[in-house]
Every structure is written in C-alpha cells, then in structure tokens.
Amino acid sequence: MLTEQFLLLGASFLPMNILVCLSKVPDTTSKISFTDNNTRFNTQGVQFILNPSDEWYALVRAIEIKESLGKGSVAAVMVGGAEDDSLLRKAVAIGADTLYRINAQPQDAYSVARMLADFIKGQSFDLVMTGRETIDYNGGEVPAMLAELLGWELVSPVNKLDIIDGKVRIESELGALTEVLECDLPLVVSAAKGLADQRIPNMWGIRNSRLAVIHVIEPSPVAPLTRIVKFDLPPAKGQVKMIPADQPELLVKLLHEEAKVI
C-alpha cells in the first residue's frame, strides 16, 4: 500500500520514464513468400520497417509526453539480432533517448513478452507502451502477456493518452463505445490509431541516431509455447462480377440470392 501511494504521489513530481517496445516487420508493400518447403518467411529482398503502430502511435506519443512534461525519458527496446540495430536507431532519430536490444530472435509472442518482462523488472519504467498489433504475425498478444508477467494493469486499445497530475488519462475506443479511463502507474498500454501522428526524423535526429549507443541485453533463454510449422498462400480470388451502374437492384438480388449475405 505504501509503495502504491508513493508511486501515485511520486509520479506527479518525479520524471516519467517511458519504455516503448518496437518490433521489426516487413514493409507494408512487401511481397510475401516462403522458403524451406514453405516453413520459413523468405526475407530475400524484403525491406524491413518499424511496426507502424509501435512507431507512429506508441513511440511518437511517448516523445510528445516527455516534451510536454519537460522532463523524463523515453527508452526504446527491441528483441532482435545485431542486424536490427540500424532500424532500432530510427527511434533516436524520432526523439527517443536510450536504446536497448535484447539479443535474441523472436520465436513466439510468449518468449518475446518474457524477455521484455525480465528486462523491465530490473529497470524503473513507469509506463510501457507497445503497438496494438504487428503487421506480420498479427497476434497482438505481447501487450497483455507483458502486463500479466509484470503484474501490471493493461489498457488496450489506447487512442488518446495524457498525463494529468501524475495520473494517466486514456480514451479507449471499443467499437461503438468510448471509455474514458483514469489509471495509476505503472501501466502497460497498447497504442492504436489517433494516439499520435507519424513523425519524419529531422537532420538533427538522424545525426544523433548515428551516434546513439545501443545497450545490448543478453536474455535468459525462454522456450516458446507455440511454433509455426507451415505457411500457405490464401486461395486466389475468383473473377469479379461487374454490374452496370444503372442496375443496382441486380447487385442487391445477387447479394441476396447468390452470395446469400443479405
């Protein structure tokens, strides 16, 4: 109870330390193919980017919060290999202060969440921000797993986030509902549309990012709980049926009688 109160009070005058979890994903226009008898994603010729919701929403909002409070820090962490360093540096180009790379190849959501949690437990972050979902494996599992392993609360999705008197005020859009929430720290949030806008690094940021030190963390090994055994491409789409613009009744008839969806 005492620590809780301390955290609450403390957050209003202590600097906020924010950690943003970043994932590496293929560029949105990538052609997706597989190797080794369709058991592995073919990275040949694929351009990698930071996962859009991690970068555009989580990271940018974290930096905006630090800027608006005028204190605190933003750290970014990625589970990945040395080949990911240049991508991770982009976080500094956008405005992050500190970079960590947990030196392992991501295997499944659980092993990534465990390595992140083990790292976070030894640090003193107040707020951990992730993106809502990666655009490669589309799991969206890491945020809740991380919250569970840390014993922290989670808000997901987060479409608006402000710090008011050391408390976090959040808007979470759940279909036709919008919840306005007030949360204590520490907290895990998963960032979604609306939280912030993409930022293009400036010259200064790019220069800083080249000089940035990446702290490499060696994790204790974690066995994954699931494994991908095979990839398939989705079945090809049939031919589109074109309907003359002056026959909307025909479309409605086909949707009712042929497709049976209305």
Ligand X SMILES: Cc1cc2nc3c(=O)[nH]c(=O)nc-3n(C[C@H](O)[C@H](O)[C@H](O)COP(=O)(O)OP(=O)(O)OC[C@H]3O[C@@H](n4cnc5c(N)ncnc54)[C@H](O)[C@@H]3O)c2cc1C
Q: How many CB atoms lie within 10 A of CB 223?
A: 9
Name the binder of 199 from another protein, ligand X, none, CB < 5-8 A by kind.
none
Supply the DSSP string of 158-207, one letter for each residue: ESEEEEETTEEEEEEEETTEEEEEEEPSSEEEEE-TTS-------HHHHH
Token pair for 128: 């951990």
Site for ligand X in 113-152 (CB under 6 A): none
d(CA 94, CA 235): 40
Asked if residue 23 lies in contact with residue 50, where contact means CB atoms within 8 angstroms, the answer is yes
Please name the residue that has the structure tokens 């437990």.
121
Report the nearest approach of ligand X to the CB of residue 230 (Å): 27
Report the nearest approach of ligand X to the CB of residue 24 (Å): 14
What DSSP designation does 104 have? Answer: S
Report the nearest approach of ligand X to the CB of residue 251 (Å): 15
95 binds ligand X (CB under 6 A): no
Report the nearest approach of another protein to the CB of residue 160 (Å): 9
Total residues binding ligand X (CB under 6 A): 2
Torsional sign, CA 34, 36, 37, 39: negative
The side-by-side arrangement of strands in the sheet containing 153-158 is 153-158, 187-191, 127-131, 17-22, 73-80, 98-103, 214-217
Report the nearest approach of another protein to the CB of residue 154 (Å): 6
Site for ligand X in 2-61 (CB under 6 A): 28, 52
Report the nearest approach of another protein to the CB of residue 13 (Å): 21
Asked if residue 163 lies in contact with residue 16, where contact means CB atoms within 8 angstroms, the answer is yes
What DSSP designation does 55 have? Answer: I
Instruction: Name which of 87 and 154 has its Cβ closer to another protein.
Output: 154
Instruction: Name which of 221 and 238 has its Cβ closer to another protein.
Output: 238
Helix (H/G/I), strand (E/B), else coil: 103 = strand
Instruction: Name which of 218 and 258 has its Cβ closer to another protein.
Output: 258
Instruction: Name which of 29 and 37 has its Cβ closer to ligand X.
Output: 29
Report the nearest approach of another protein to the CB of residue 111 (Å): 11
Token pair for 191: 């960032």
Instruction: Name which of 32 and 216 has its Cβ closer to another protein.
Output: 32
Instruction: Name which of 152 and 212 has its Cβ closer to another protein.
Output: 152
Instruction: Name which of 26 and 205 has its Cβ closer to another protein.
Output: 26
What DSSP designation does 225 have? Answer: S
Q: Which residues bind ligand X (CB under 6 A)?
A: 28, 52
